[in-house]
Structure 1
Amino acid sequence: MTTLHVLSHSPFSDSRFDSCLRLLGAHDGLLLSGDAVYALQPGTAALAALEQRQLRLYALAEDLEARGLQATAQVAALDYPAFVQLTLDYDKVNSWL
């Protein structure tokens, strides 16, 4: 069973980011939204942790733009219609509230 994990909190504010990474399965995906896109800042431990893993990684394009960030080659930047479609591509969705 595949799971899309949706994370919207900064990886620097609490342990949700690390907890999420520990629970990601081989066929799961991770969507960064809101302040979670700060994990893509160059030179951070969060980005290094993401780059070390072979995972399906997505980010909301609007949130990247709002924070002056750009998706790396490993990250698929999505608009809202693509995000909705992505939720249908996985068996379940887990939002890290």
Structure 2
Amino acid sequence: MSTLHVLSHSPYADSGLSSCLRVLGHEDAILLCGDATYALTPSTAARQSLDDKADSLRVFVLDEDAQARNLTLPDWVKSVDYSGFVELSVLFDKVNTWL
């Protein structure tokens, strides 16, 4: 069963990203939105943990939030708009929002 893991909290303020990476299944994906997009900031521990697993991860980012934070996305991250977020929510069997 595939799960879309939605993260919205800063990786510097809570442990959601590291916890998510530990339980992520091979059919799962991550959607970064809000302050969770800071995980894509180059030269940070959060980015390094994502880079280390980039070959086996499916990572999406809400475009509006990445643009608001002036982030340049790595090529292994796919940007989606709100319509794309809805499509992802339907595509996966479950959606887990990390609070």
Query: Of residues 59, 73, 76 in structure 2, which corresponds to 1:74?
Result: 76
Could you give the per-residue CA deviations for residues 53-82 of structure 1, whole angstroms, max 9, x where no partner exists? 111100000000111112210100000001
Unmatched runs of 5 consecutive residues or more in structure 1: none
Is the counterpart of residue 18 in structure 1 residue 18 in structure 2? yes
SS in structure 2 of the partner of residue 71 of structure 1 = coil
Query: Which consecutive segments of 4 or more residues in structure 1 shift more than 3 A?
Result: none
C-alpha distance in 2 between matches for 1:2 and 1:16: 19
Is the counterpart of residue 3 in structure 1 residue 3 in structure 2? yes
State the TM-score, normalizing by the size of structure 1: 0.97
Per the alignment, residue 62 of structure 1 pairs with: 64
C-alpha distance in 2 between matches for 1:37 and 1:58: 10
Aligned partner letter, 2:79: A
Aligned partner letter, 1:22: R
Work out the number of aligned pairs and report it. 97
State the TM-score, normalizing by the size of structure 2: 0.95
Aligned partner letter, 1:16: G
Q: CA RMSD in A?
A: 0.7
C-alpha distance in 2 between matches for 1:87 and 1:71: 22
C-alpha distance in 2 between matches for 1:58 and 1:41: 14
SS in structure 2 of the partner of residue 42 of structure 1 = coil
